[in-house]
A and B are shown apart, each in its own frame.
Chain A
Amino acid sequence: DIQMTQSPSSLSASVGDRVTITCRASQDISIYLAWYQQKPGRVPDLLIYGASTLQSGVPSRFSGSGSGTDFTLTISSLQPEDVATYYCQRYNSAPQTFGQGTKVEIK
C-alpha cells in the first residue's frame, strides 16, 4: 500500500506566522491528495482537495500545492482558530491512506 508521511508531527507558532506542513507519498499519486482539519474534540473537515483546490468556505489563508509524491499545506498567517491537527489523505485508490497528522499550536 502507498504510505503517507507528514512532517512535522507537531509545531508551535505565533499568531501571524506562516506555517508549512509537508506530506510525502511513497508512490506517485498525481494530485489525488486532500487535507483535513480536525479541531480538538471535533469531527474532521475538508480543507483542500485535488492538492490545491480550496473547499468552499475555507479561509484564503489556507493553500495547498504539490503533485506526484510531495505536497504542502500552508497557512499564510496563523490565527488562533487554526489550532487543530491537520491530516493529508491520498484518494487515488483504496485504501485511502491518511498521514499521521500534524498538530498545530499557538506559541
Chain B
Amino acid sequence: QVQLVQSGAEVKKPGASVKVSCKASGYTFTSYAMHWVRQAPGQRLEWMGRINAGNGNTKYSQIFQGRVVITRDTAASTVYMELSSLTSEDTAVYYCARLGYTGYDEGWCRPWGQGTLVTVSS
C-alpha cells in the first residue's frame, strides 16, 4: 500500500535550518507530485509548496518568502523540505502529502505522512 514515512522530530535554534525527509513506497514515485503542509500548535493547516517528483518542478507559497526549498531524490524515492532562517513561529508539525492522482501538480492529497514536529527554541 502507499506509505509516506517522514523523518523524526527536530529541535533547532533560531536562525538555523531544518531538512525534513519523506520516504515514499508502494507506488511509482515519479508519477505523483508531493506537497508539504504545516500546522503550528492549535492553528490551521498551511500549504507550503509542492514538487513534481518526475521533473523536479516546484512551486512555493509566498508566505515563506524564499525560505523553503523542496527537492527530491528519485533513486531513494524521497522528497525533502528544507526551511531556513527559523524563528519560534516555525514551530509546527510538518506533513508531506502525495497528490491523489497522476498527471497534475496541484490537487487534493492522499495519503499524508505521519508528520514531523519541528521545535524552534533558544
Chain A contacts to B: CB under 8 angstroms = 1, 34, 36, 38, 43-46, 49, 55, 87, 89, 91-101
Across the two chains, which residue of chain A brings its CB closest to B59? A94
A43→B47 contact, CB < 8 A: no
**Contact across chains for B114 and A46 when beta carbons are under 8 A apart:** no
Interface size on B, residues (CB 8 A): 25
Shortest Cβ distance from B46 into A: residue: A98
Instruction: Out of B63, B105, B107, B112, name the residue touching A44 (CB < 8 Å).
Output: B112
Q: Which residues of A contact B110 (CB under 8 A)?
A: 45-46, 55
Asked if B35 CB lies within 8 Å of chain A CBs, one says yes
Known: A34-B108, A95-B63. 8 other contacts (CB 8 A): A36-B45, A38-B45, A43-B114, A45-B110, A87-B44, A89-B108, A96-B47, A96-B50
Chain B positions near chain A (C-beta within 8 angstroms): 35, 37, 44-47, 49-50, 59, 61-63, 95, 100, 105-115
Query: Is the Cβ of B44 less than 8 Å from the Cβ of A100?
Result: yes
Please tell me which one of the listed residues B35, B47, B105 contacts residue A97 in the complex, with CB atoms under 8 A apart. Answer: B47
Q: Residue A46 contacts which of B49, B105, B108, B115 (CB distance < 8 angstroms)?
A: B108
- CA distance in complex: A36, B45 (Å): 10
